[in-house]
Structure 1
Amino acid sequence: MFSQGSEGYIQQRKGSRVRYAVIYANKLRGHVERTVTDVSDDGGKHKVTHLYTMLNKKGKPSKSAALMGAGDGMQTSVTVEDGAYYLTLDLMYGSMGNDNRSGYLLKMPKTLKVGDELEGGTLKASMKFMGSTINNEVTFKNFKVTEETTLQTKAGDIKCLKITGRITGRVSRQNVDEEQTLYVAPGIGIVRQEAMNYMGSKTPYLSEVTEIEGI
């Protein structure tokens, strides 16, 4: 069993690294690596800075990400108060940090148990891409912890809570109305994310942890 931290459902140990495999349409598309580059105290709150690095299927720097101006990765900051924070999934619902954002998707408390309902919200993001502006608006609702389970991953067995809910809205000019499942673990956050009709595409999507270091 993989040993986890107890700082809430988020990765916030400086220097720690988590890598995810990204599978779309049942094919490996590449990897995303999240590294904590800084943790600072702001009046009793913790500001955690994550660096997301896009990698290809072989785990090498992504050439397509470099062409989009994100060869060095994308930095985003999260404020954690008493172990709780607001989940925004910046990398998924934005564009390499060049967007205007407001709102949140889920409020993630420090502790969770089976039967708990999570506070959902709406995230709005306006991003520029190839000279045009794309407006995204996503609402997370009815997310609830349904069970406790152990996932067998390439990083080891990880004890998780399974959370299911519904996503509606519009992303990249496509209507979104889908069920989504998250598996979360203390000290890591999302371990696995899956959707059968990802971003309105009617195509399955899966992201799962493959490597963990420094948690």
Structure 2
Amino acid sequence: MDGLVREYTARLMDSGNLASLVAGLIALLLVLNRTSWLPLRNIVTIAHEGGHAVVALLSGRKLNGIRLHSDTSGLTVSTGKSHGPGMVCTLLAGYPAVSLLGLGGAWLVNADLARQMLWGGVALLVAVLLAVRNAFGVVSVLVTGGALFLVSWFATPAWQALCGALLCWFLLIGGLRPITELSRKRARRRAGDSDADQLARLTRIPGGAWLFGWFLIGIAALVVGGYWLLLMPQV
């Protein structure tokens, strides 16, 4: 075990990824600090609602639109059966989507494809933009997509890698906070129509079990994605 720890530490130092570690610490501070979290939470909401929308379409439901609100909440409306696998999968997808996007981005950054990851993010945001149905949502998606575009187009490869790593860390860490926030709201009986509670009514599996499952997915994504980010190519 000691040998593995020394080998990992040596690889981390040799790869120059102390910069990636710093990016991870910055992302952690951004998520934990209330002042920074409130506006940046919109990024997590976009990913969350995008997850609902993609799975709704894949399950054969009709996507009516996405709304993103200034309080960082969101709503994805789709038409189809109010029960059954399609509805369950649609409700299930939101929270894991954030962590899984961070995991996929971390894999691309580790493979020295940071610019492609940023362009992929822009493409996904364009797709979300087509489904957004309110002004604040349009502005939120445009600002996020514009930032990714500027980095992908004008930044050097080193800065693209670092910004890509920061975004991935933020999604991986930030994907966990809404789950803990929802858990506290449910404990105070202030989230009776949450994804977890709707799933509980559809499946008879307690809402807490869905929260626990989402949290486990988020932790697994953070561990694997963090490992990839800490061993990304030298910047």
TM-score range normalised by the length of the shorter chain: under 0.3
User: TM-score, normalization: structure 1?
Assistant: 0.25
TM-score normalised by structure 2 residue count = 0.24
The structure whose RCO (Cα within 8 Å, separation 6+) is larger is 2
Flag the structure with higher helix content: 2
Q: State the structure with more CA Rg.
A: 2
